[in-house]
Amino acid sequence: MEAFVKHTGIVGPVDRVNVDTDAIIPKQFLKRIERTGFGQFLFYEWRFDTKGNVNPEFELNKSRYEGASVLISRVNFGCGSSREHAPWAILDYGFRCVIAPSYADIFYNNCFKNGILPIKLSEEQVEDLFQRTANHPGYKLTIDLEQKTITDEHGLNLSFDLDEHRRQFLLQGLDDIGLTLQHEDLISAYESKRSARLA
């Protein structure tokens, strides 16, 4: 998993509340067995019309948000079913960070397991980010996980809270498997002893 230390990226807005996981990655695209390739289907039913044509009205389809890697949205982001495909799609599309006032618990936890930083800010702070994004084409944020700050080129300087355990996982690029593999020598030693006993 790629570590998250400091990231600067264009902000992409999805100005909706209660964005559920079926909107993030519709159920018909859950047949893949790999973790990759889901980005093309992110927000599919909003990004495209029923004939598969690009919907020019959807925020992320506008040229000013091309290449966005910081996603902002409203309350209760990631609600609905617990599908881990949702963070897979967000990451595969190119987003490294999501900023919203609140998240569904399972989605929030899954973000950390996939190298995405989900940041919680107040509704007022998120509204300010939406306004800044609208007023500055190509608007960028810099997220510094070591300092737990969010800054821009227009004087913004915010702090955010994050559980220290989760912060360290992201800083070191560790998921559950990576954490286990830090003890690979002990695991190998145990397996060797067990094999010797069973021989």
Give the residue-averaged pLDDT of 186-196: 58
Q: Examine the pLDDT at 178 and tell me if it is beyond 70.
A: no
Entry pTM = 0.88
In angstroms and rounded to an integer, the radius of gyration of the C-alpha atoms of the chain is 19
Helix/strand/coil (H/E/C) assignment for every residue in 49-88: CCCCCECCCCHHHCHHHCCCCEEEECCCECECCCCCHHHH
169: number of Cβ within 10 Å: 21
CB 3 within 8 A of CB 61: no
Q: Examine the pLDDT at 156 and tell me if it is beyond 60.
A: yes
What is the distance of C-alpha 88 from the center of its chain? 8
Look-up: residue for tokens 């982001």? 77
Q: Give the 3-state secondary structure of residue 99.
A: strand
Q: Examine the pLDDT at 181 and tell me if it is beyond 50.
A: no
Q: Examine the pLDDT at 91 and tell me if it is beyond 90.
A: yes
Task: Report the C-alpha gap between 70 and 10 in whole angstroms.
Answer: 6
Q: Examine the pLDDT at 115 and tell me if it is beyond 60.
A: yes
Q: Give the 3-state secondary structure of residue 159.
A: strand
**pLDDT value at residue 82:** 85
Give per-residue pLDDT as tens, 63-78. 999 999 999 999 999 9
Mean pLDDT of the chain: 91
According to DSSP, the residues that pair with 99 across neighbouring strands are 72, 119
CB hemisphere CA count around 99 (13 angstroms): 30
Task: Report the C-alpha gap between 34 and 67 in whole angstroms.
Answer: 23
Residue 33 confidence class, pLDDT cut points 50, 70, 90: confident
